[in-house]
Amino acid sequence: MEIDRISGPNVHNQMGIEEKVMDRILVISYFAPPVLSAESILVGKLLPELAKRYQIDLVAVGDDPDFRKDETMGQWMDVENLTVHRYHNPKPVNKIVRRLYQKGSSMFQDMNDRWLRQVLLHYKPQGPFQLIYSRSMPGISHLVAYEFKQRLGIPWVAQFSDPWAHNPYNRYPLPVMHQVEERNEAKVIRAADRFVFPTDEIRRLVASSYPDEDVTDRSIVLPHCFDERLYGPSEGESPAAGSHDNRIVLSYIGDFYGLRSPEPILKALALLNEQHPQTAAKIHLQIVGNVESTFVPLLSKYGDMLKTTIERTGQVSYLESLQKMKQSDILLLIDAPSDENIFLPSKLIDYFGARKPILGITAEKGTTANLLREQSFPVIDPRDPERIAAELLAMAERLDLFQQKAETNDLRMFEVKTVADQLSKLFEQLGQE
């Protein structure tokens, strides 16, 4: 039998041929398919690829009435060498009581702490495991991994998709909760053997918070990934929506909430309506995802005054969202205003995989801006609607050129196999120390 990952003790099959046993790793990720969330999608793409190299035990959360689910994603986890163990996070059944419970508990402790206790009580690791690999957010995944690190005494890799205790967008209702999160994060930073961050900015933020720990030396920066097999038919089989009726389909795939507002693109479209009405009339803005109620009046206001048509589509399945990316002419990335964007949206990497032109409305400093520029796509501060309008006009007038760039860009570093290879290399290096 051919095994992709060759390591571990020797065994013999019935023909007497020596084979290798795959290493076993324990993966802790609170979110996993079929939960519909950014972290769950990343786990769903990466683990089946890692399962070609390792025997994996995944510990994740079970059903929860608050979770949005995408059952098509659940099929991704049904692969050889991957076993999923799900544990319930006990919460009140009544929705109103549950909201009160969550609001109250989040002031003083991690509201997922009861899930941690369920895992430690019921999950019995059937080793031997060579390594622990935990992912966040939420940070509770790392706290579970910390406990198993103490029990098993094996190497541990902790991956952060976002900052934890020092996330600049987190607002703690009481200082005590921030102190709890800082203590939890510090415990993880001291105990984990290696760290993985999606951007150098996040790594620097964490390292500066723990100057006595060698965070930089113990970490790598690894981007999110896309899986081209998930996008469905090739471009020849699935023509862009704009090619049907001479429209230019401008798509934002994702949610608007908090400080992430549709206002930057709406203001830019209003300017385009005034200055280039013929081009504005060709544009069809498609918003695929949830829109916070505070932004609904804004969309209605601009919808009434623009020549540009605006279509709101609710949240769709992940695979359908990838199809909508492919069927668009220009994809919109819109971030909250900031002087520096320390984050890397997983949506941006999905956009890359769709091979469509991207208009980046994000901070001009940071990994996101750097990656967009490397792919020859414009980056404009969300607070500058005049420049957004100018760049949108330029893209609309030279759409073929931008599409050619999207199709020919070198995206190998973002492919799921490449990212899994880099992660496996880190695992192997750690195992040899």
Instruction: Please state, as a whole number, how many other Cβ atoms lie within 10 Å of the Cβ of residue 146.
Output: 22
Q: Give the pLDDT score at 3.
A: 22
In a 3-state reduction of DSSP, which class is residue 131? strand
Q: State the pTM of this model.
A: 0.87
Q: Is the pLDDT of residue 250 over 80?
A: yes
Selection from 22, 24, 41, 53 nearest residue 132 by Cα: 24
In a 3-state reduction of DSSP, which class is residue 50? helix
d(CA 156, CA 260): 35
pLDDT band with cut points at 50, 70 and 90 for residue 27: very high
pLDDT band with cut points at 50, 70 and 90 for residue 202: very high
For 54, residues 6+ apart whose C-beta sits below 8 A from its C-beta are 5, 22, 23, 24, 25, 81, 424, 427
What is the sign, positive or negative, of the torsion defined by CA atoms of 145, 134, 106, 70?
negative
pLDDT band with cut points at 50, 70 and 90 for residue 380: very high
For β-strands 24-29 and 131-136, DSSP reports them as parallel
User: Is-contact 183 159, C-beta < 8 A?
Assistant: no
CATH of 10-225+415-432, one of 3.40.50.2000, 3.30.540.10, 4.10.320.10, 2.70.150.10: 3.40.50.2000
Question: What is the mean pLDDT of the segment spanning 344-370?
Answer: 96
- Chain length of the chain: 433
Give Cα separations from 323 to 107, 200, 229, 356 (angstroms).
40, 31, 12, 12
Question: What is the mean pLDDT of the segment spanning 415-424?
Answer: 96
Q: Is the pLDDT of residue 16 over 70?
A: no
Q: What is the DSSP letter of 21?
A: P
Question: What is the mean pLDDT of the segment spanning 140-149?
Answer: 95
CATH 2.30.110.10 fits 229-412, yes or no: no
**Helices within 20-152 (DSSP H only):** 38-50, 71-74, 95-105, 113-122, 140-152
User: Is-contact 338 383, C-beta < 8 A?
Assistant: no
Q: Give the pLDDT score at 208.
A: 92
Selection from 330, 345, 333 nearest residue 399 by Cα: 330
Taking only the tens place, the pLDDT of each residue in 311-343 is 998 889 999 999 999 999 999 999 999 999 999
How high is the mean pLDDT of the chain? 86
Q: Give the pLDDT score at 148.
A: 95
Peptide bond into 345 cis (omega under 30): no
User: What are the residue boundaries of the structural domains of the chain, listed by start?
Assistant: 10-225+415-432, 229-412
d(CA 317, CA 72): 8
Which of 42-51, 165-174, 217-226, 268-277 is least confident? 165-174
Q: Is-same-fold flag (10-225+415-432; 229-412)?
A: yes
Taking only the tens place, the pLDDT of each residue in 257-306 is 888 999 999 999 999 999 999 999 999 999 999 999 999 999 889 888 88
* 389 vs 304 pLDDT, higher one: 389
| Beta-bridge partners for 61 | 87
In a 3-state reduction of DSSP, which class is residue 163? coil
Give Cα separations from 322 to 38, 149, 255, 331 (angstroms).
13, 37, 15, 11
d(CA 72, CA 319): 8
For β-strands 18-20 and 10-12, DSSP reports them as antiparallel
d(CA 41, CA 73): 8
Q: Is the pLDDT of residue 93 over 70?
A: no
Q: Is the pLDDT of residue 105 over 70?
A: no
